[in-house]
Homo-oligomer: A and B are copies of this chain.
């Protein structure tokens, strides 16, 4: 029996408010020269003060040894076991650009790419073309490509080289393999069905890509499109349906706006910047919502850029903004991450992430710093990421007793 389903039986729509401050890719490992992780190297007096008033621990997000993508990472934090609630990045990206995805739609992430004369990929991101070039090419594709079926397709700019393809019609399936070969020097894969159900969709994608290659033949550097993460959109039960939480997402980056919408949260209009997100939280904090998700992307991006010092600086900047949240004195405040992105590795990793939870009845422990090592000594211990939502609900007084 999945413990998150027991919570569903026990929750009621009363009790306190919960704020999640999610610092994407927060977790790190020590820099070989400095012997400190990003959080250890950062001067973060506000985080440390919060840790001193919190229950601390480590979250192993998806499972031992698993490096989470951002989608599964976030689902986990919201109490949706990603091994059960599967959702592809294509669907998340479409939701994240405020695209009105319908049940049954199939979405895929698209990259404008540079293909060489031999048909091999020479740059998977076409030199990260500007967004306005992306928009022009997208319009060209919409104007000149047509698919022969009882349905329709949408091709939408995300930003820079990124776009989304959505197919809408009967009997579509996400069971189509990526055409993006992930490495340059290889030709794009054909869009093969991975199961019989996916054959109709694969044929449509094949036709789409054949036409796109003609339409973009004279363009440079973006003369091709790569597709990955085909996924049919089957909406998940909402955060309110499952946990009686009226949620709101405060995020700038499409993916996290998408995750919020996927779980039935309201999503505020693009706040437009880090400090603006904190100020938005302050302005909407009140009776309308019981769950507030505020997302910080840069900690992850800088980790992926292998830029240890900038990640440290970013953490110090966020630390200075933290009082904007603690001033609200929410019944439950959680600070944690969807996964680690150690700058030393320059990519997502499997390392558990530090977390702290402040609430009236949380057992405050001896942890006096918020970092990857100190939190290991916290009273919440090291536990699966899905546990977080249950702890937040309990501490908010939002769950009844189990049995008599």
Contact = CB atoms under 8 A, between A and B. Distances in A.
Interface of A is mostly: loop
A128 B349 CA distance: 53
Given A363-B351, A364-B30, A402 B67 contact: yes
Contacts of A144: none
Contacts of A373: 363, 365, 379
A341 B7 CA distance: 20
Given A69-B404, A83-B1, A89-B404, A64 B363 contact: no
Contacts of A404: 69-71, 88-89, 92, 229
Nearest to A88: B404
Nearest to A350: B394
Given A379-B376, A382-B381, A67 B361 contact: no
Contacts of A124: none
Interface residues of A, number: 61
Contacts of A84: 1
Contact of A402 (B10, B66, B87, B392): B66
A174 interface: no
A399 interface: yes
A393 interface: yes
B363 A30 contact: yes
Contacts of A30: 363-364
A345 B360 CA distance: 10
A26 to B, nearest CB: 14
B400 A64 contact: no
A345 B394 CA distance: 13
A383 interface: yes
A38 interface: no
A62 interface: yes
Contact of A349 (B67, B82, B361, B387): B361
22 contacts: A1-B81, A1-B83, A3-B63, A6-B63, A10-B66, A29-B361, A65-B394, A65-B399, A66-B399, A67-B399, A67-B400, A68-B401, A68-B403, A69-B401, A69-B403, A70-B404, A86-B403, A88-B403, A345-B361, A348-B401, A351-B361, A365-B376
Interface of A: 1, 3, 6-7, 10, 29-30, 62-72, 81-84, 86-89, 92, 229, 342, 344-345, 347-351, 361, 363-365, 372-373, 376, 379, 381-383, 387, 389-395, 399-404
**What are the 7 A-B residue pairs with the smallest beta carbon separation, nearest first?**
A65-B390, A89-B404, A69-B403, A65-B394, A64-B387, A72-B403, A1-B83
